[in-house]
Chains A and B, each alone.
Chain A
Amino acid sequence: MLEKALTGSRGYWTLLAALFALVVVGLVTYLQQFAQGLGLTGLSRDVPWGLYISQFTFLVGVAASAVMVVLPYYVHHYKAFGKLAILGEFLAIPACFMCVLFIFVDMGQPRRVINIILHPTPHSVMFWDMIVLNGYLLLNVVISRATFRAERAGRPPPGWVKPIIYLSVPWAVSIHTVTAFLYCGLAARPFWLTAILAPRFLASAFASGPSLLILLALLVRRVTKFDAGKEAIAKLGEIVAYGMSVNIFFVGLEIFTAFYSGRPEEIEHFTYLYAGLHGHHVLAPWMWASLALSALALVLLLVPSLRRNESVLVVACLAVVGALWIDKGLGMVVTGFVPSPLGHVTEYWPTGREMLIALGIYALGGLVLTVLYKIATTVREELEA
């Protein structure tokens, strides 16, 4: 099946070459970081986690969102998602893979990562995060391989894959819940210490993941003969609408609790995010942009005539991904550290090399995604021919 990825149009090979070039740049930059230490990032004693961990957090959401296609199609037999399912599963795999890579490049002593397995520590949430993330990657590889091969041979999927598909549904929820638990169990960080963090993560995942899937499915329809179907796209659009509404509602809940209670340790983090503290406000314009994009997305998604227009849906999905990427990928992690436990405001912004490494990882994920999608679309085209 992999040989399907070895033949393609000029555009396909150009895309692969461009992504590969970005991967090489990222890798070379990472080797510099490996030699010099994480000091070449913008991180600091007060802000020990930044771009890498926030991208991991965002991508766990994208990986988990595959459940929004798997659940209706395999469990509730919603036939319209028949062609979309493989695109969703083939998105979850590179998303998981990128999560693992982002964690790896964030480690101070990457050669010793094996210590997590040599010295298992069940009271550490990070131990469980490693297990559920790798387990989910394995589940998705097994499920997509089995279902795809069956589809290609024109027969129903083998019986043994059914219970594994059922397992992947709560497992998908668990990967993002455990990732939220990394943050929301820390008394040291009041900004994250909220029971609603896990539901917020899930809501934003179920908005941003399917949005990304819609954008990819429409792109695939444009450049190949693979059409996921108008009904599938429309239904996914409804799912995004619900996910985004719930997500914005949850943000509102957080803001109310913080400001109505008046507790300084809650208020000061939100103040830093949206207005800045002591003259430090690098994130504020981004957060307002995120709010504006969220408002735009909400309007476009909640008005049915707008949502059903696929061109408008593209704008809405871009707005959703943009807004939620800013929220999770920029705002959430860093704000937990500002101000620090000793009351200091140390700002964080990624350095150029840090961004190159992140870009390299995204490019590698994009490479895997392109190859997988090429295989899926080529096989489908051959089946329908």
Chain B
Amino acid sequence: MKRRSFLKIAGLGLVGACGVPVAQAMARAGSTAPAPNASNGKRWAMVIDEKKCLTKSGCQACVLACHKGHNVPTMSESRHDVKWIWKEQFVNVFPERVTPYTPAAMKERPTLVVCNHCDNPPCVRVCPTQATWKRPDGLVAMDEHRCIGCRYCVTACPYGARSFNWEDPRPHIVGELTDYPTRTKGVVEKCTFCAERLAVGKRPLCVEACEGIGCGALVFGDLGDPNSAVSALVRGSELGRRKPELGTSPHVFYIL
């Protein structure tokens, strides 16, 4: 047989052999769909009523519920802290509202901070792999499978809301693991407005925990629903937002 014919047949044979996996892949596979009880919001938002929150001195109910439910580790070095929701001193959260005459107790009062799920999120803008992105319902989502750990989003967030896993978090998780997947070293994580719970019609863990202790300082809902509690609060009175001058349009509102 001439060399050319041999090569032709070999080439065609190779192409044909490739057809087997292609045919397999094109064979019937299943399909996916949203859960029937998924929450459908147009624009998720949260209102934090600081006045109510301050009535419960030393309370960490929301923090514990969130961090337990999401297997957030307790790192031994504070420089490696991973936190999704926590309390900061008021002067660090709303510095523009502090004057030289503000008493120390007011300056230092514990103020809840979380990811603000901005309308115009700088973290999403800088992520080179779309490991963080803005969902149509307003949530700023996180895909830890895709994250390459470049920490550009951590650098870009004006609220310090994001945490990077500087080491393997699993040895630092206190107590039994819950069903939520843990993360691995080298990826970034943050508050997700409990996307996995919204997808099955439940509300965020922090909100439920706060209601559970009879405080109700955290109100969560859909701004696209004119009858929701958040809609009433946001449209009814003057609420504060963190660093509004930066143009991020945060969607965590504060009653101060």
Q: Which A residues are within 8 Å of any B CB, using their own CB?
A: 36-39, 43-46, 48-49, 106-110, 112-113, 115-116, 118-119, 121, 123-127, 130, 182, 186-189, 336-337, 340-344, 346
Contact = CB atoms under 8 A, between A and B. Distances in A.
Contact of B186 (A44, A49, A107, A346): A107
Interface string B116-152: 0000001001111111000000000000001111111
B246 A188 contact: yes
Interface of B: 77, 79-82, 88, 91-93, 95, 113, 122, 125-131, 146-152, 154-160, 163-168, 184-188, 246-248
Given A37-B168, A109-B148, A125-B126, A46 B186 contact: no
Contacts of A342: 88, 92-93, 113, 159-160
Given A189-B155, A342-B160, A113 B168 contact: no
Nearest to B79: A44
A124 B128 contact: yes
Contacts of A107: 148-150, 186
Given A49-B151, A49-B155, A109 B92 contact: no
17 contacts: A37-B167, A38-B185, A44-B80, A45-B154, A45-B164, A48-B155, A49-B155, A106-B150, A118-B129, A119-B146, A125-B126, A127-B128, A187-B122, A188-B155, A188-B246, A343-B91, A343-B95
Contacts, number: 133
A116 B148 contact: yes
Which of A119, A130, A186 has its CB near the most chain B CB atoms (within 10 A)?
A186
A187 B158 contact: yes
A342 B89 CA distance: 9
B127 A38 contact: no
B129 A121 contact: yes
B250 to A, nearest CB: 13
B125 A124 contact: yes
B186 A187 contact: no
Contacts of A123: 125
Given A44-B80, A125-B126, A344-B92, A188 B157 contact: yes
Which of B81, B122, B129, B159 has its CB near the most chain A CB atoms (within 10 A)?
B129
Given A49-B151, A115-B146, A126-B128, A186 B156 contact: yes
A380 to B, nearest CB: 42
Given A45-B80, A126-B150, A37 B185 contact: yes
- State the majority secondary structure of interface residues on A: loop
A124 B152 contact: yes
A297 B217 CA distance: 60
Nearest to A183: B155
Given A43-B166, A119-B146, A341-B160, 20 more contacts: A36-B167, A37-B185, A39-B80, A44-B166, A45-B79, A48-B164, A108-B185, A109-B187, A115-B128, A116-B129, A121-B127, A182-B152, A186-B122, A187-B246, A188-B159, A188-B246, A336-B155, A342-B88, A343-B95, A344-B92
A277 to B, nearest CB: 14
Contacts of A187: 122, 158, 246-248
A262 to B, nearest CB: 15
Contacts of A45: 79-82, 154, 160, 163-164
Nearest to B151: A48
A46 B157 contact: no
A344 B89 CA distance: 11
Contacts of A124: 125-128, 152
A353 to B, nearest CB: 13
Contacts of B165: 37, 108
A225 to B, nearest CB: 46
Nearest to A36: B167
A112 B148 contact: yes
A101 B79 CA distance: 25
Q: Which 8 A-B pairs have the closest CB atoms?
A: A108-B149, A108-B186, A44-B79, A39-B166, A188-B158, A37-B185, A39-B167, A126-B128
Contacts of A125: 126
Contact of A46 (B79, B91, B93): B79
A37 B152 contact: no
Nearest to A44: B79
A38 B186 CA distance: 7
Contacts of A116: 128-129, 148
Contacts of A130: 128
Contacts of A186: 122, 126, 155-156
Contacts of B95: 343
Contacts of A121: 127-130
B124 to A, nearest CB: 8
B67 to A, nearest CB: 15
